[in-house]
Amino acid sequence: MDALFDIPIIGLVVQFAVYLFDQFPIVAPIIAAAAVPIVLGALCGFMNERSGVVNIGIEGMMLLAAFTAWWTASLSAQLIPTGPGPLGITPALLIGLACGIGAACLASLLHAWLSISVRADQIISGTIINIFAFGITGYLNLLISQQAPPAAGQFSKFLLPGSITQLPVVGFLVKSFVSVGPIAMTMLIGVIVLQVLLFRSRWGLRTRAVGEHPRAAETVGIDVVRLRYRNVILGGVFAGLAGAYLTIEFGNAFQSGMTNGRGFIALAALIFGRWTPIGAFGAAFLFAASVGLERSIRIAPPTGSLGELLTAVPGQFYGALPYLITIVVLAGVVGRSIPPKAVGLPYEREKTGG
């Protein structure tokens, strides 16, 4: 092995492969946990963009949901103090989750109304939601932190016996995707269900039609406006889950501006994943993995010449990696990523007789 490591360049590549192979099983569950809000955010974007509505307000919707879920859960925990059931589920957390989703859906309704009914610029509408969410959650957080109720706790992981999570080869996969909390579980289900529905169901066909060529869809009797409304609001559910995940599953506290760009990364994942749920899922994992790699290099740098090389690379490089990859994909270097044709275009019904 050592002889192999010493070959110039190839040796480094081999060392890197060994390092990744060594680190991945340990880091995979953490990468998976970090990817959940990005995947859920991307599913929100998917619901919007596939039906022809650009949504750059995912970040704001997530932030609203994060705050609302945390706050309402804390309030209800004082009214209904119950011990946690399986998966750490308490009535208070469920109320928080529902309210978080509700808040994101309300923001989605606003976005739908502005971009579908009012036919405003969809980028502006999304920007409004982002700015509004940042301001209102920051302000309310300041107000209520005067008498902050104790946090309601958080959903906990589905714990499996060590004999399963320590299985060779599949153990870490089980730990990453099965031994997780309830919201993380909905992510995997959401990805699979949406992927199947998009290409195998009537709803999927209609959604694709509305996103590609709404006029043609209308002529075969699809109510474009209604379908867009429905999809945009349903998309809010996923943004709500993403936000609630941050404050009542992954963590247990709210911090002003805590989504920290995850909504935008979700959008990049959607684009990188070519507007499909599975693609966005893979992209989000790649993004989370590049952050995980940076952390691994900080926490447990590889030894030898590879270690010297990797630690010499500035940390910013690893942080920028997801965006570099997205640019490469958008530039069409690694296959083209083509958006739905009608995305961003407000739809106006043809005048009768016209």
What residues line the site for other proteins (CB under 8 A)?
A: 23, 26-27, 29-30, 33-34, 37, 142, 145-146, 150-151, 246, 250-253, 255, 257-258, 260, 262, 291-292, 295-296, 298-300, 314-316, 319
Measured distance between the N- and C-terminal CA atoms of the chain, rounded to whole angstroms: 75
The residues near 316 (Cβ < 8 Å, ≥ 6 apart) are none
Q: Which is nearer to other proteins, 167 or 196 (CB)?
A: 167
Instruction: In angstroms, give the least distance from the CB of 30 to other proteins.
Output: 5
Instruction: Please count the CA atoms within 13 angstroms of the CA of 314 that sit on its side-chain side.
Output: 3
Q: Which two tokens stand for residue 254?
A: 């709210």
**DSSP summary character for residue 82:** -
Residue 139 or 203 having the CB closest to other proteins: 139
Q: Which is nearer to other proteins, 109 or 321 (CB)?
A: 321
Residue closer to other proteins by CB (options 62, 107) is 62
Residue 252 or 305: the one with the smaller Cβ distance to other proteins is 252
Residue 22 beta carbon to other proteins: minimum distance, rounded to whole angstroms: 10
CB 31 → other proteins: shortest distance, Å?
9
CB 249 to other proteins: min, Å = 11
Sequential DSSP letters for 32-62: HHHHHHHHHHHHHHHHHHHTT-----HHHHH
The nearest distance, CB 44 to other proteins, in angstroms, is 18
Q: In 6-23, which positions are buried (b, 16+ CB within 10 angstroms) versus exposed (e)?
A: eeeeebbebbeeebeeeb
Q: How far is the CB of 260 from other proteins (least distance, A)?
A: 5
Q: Please choose, from the candidates 267, 259, 272, the residue with its C-alpha nearest in 3D space to the C-alpha of residue 41.
A: 267
**Rounded to whole angstroms, how far apart are CA atoms 270 and 196?**
17
Q: What is the DSSP letter of 179?
A: S
Nearer to other proteins, 159 or 170 (CB): 159
Q: How far is the CB of 259 from other proteins (least distance, A)?
A: 8
Q: Whose Cβ is closer to other proteins: residue 51's or residue 165's?
A: 165
In 3D space, the residue among 198, 229, 242 whose CA is nearest the CA of residue 58 turns out to be: 242
Q: What values do phi and psi take at 151, rounded to 5?
A: -65, 155
Spell out the residues 6+ positions from residue 291 whose beta carbon is closer than 8 angstroms to its own. Answer: 31, 34, 318, 319, 322
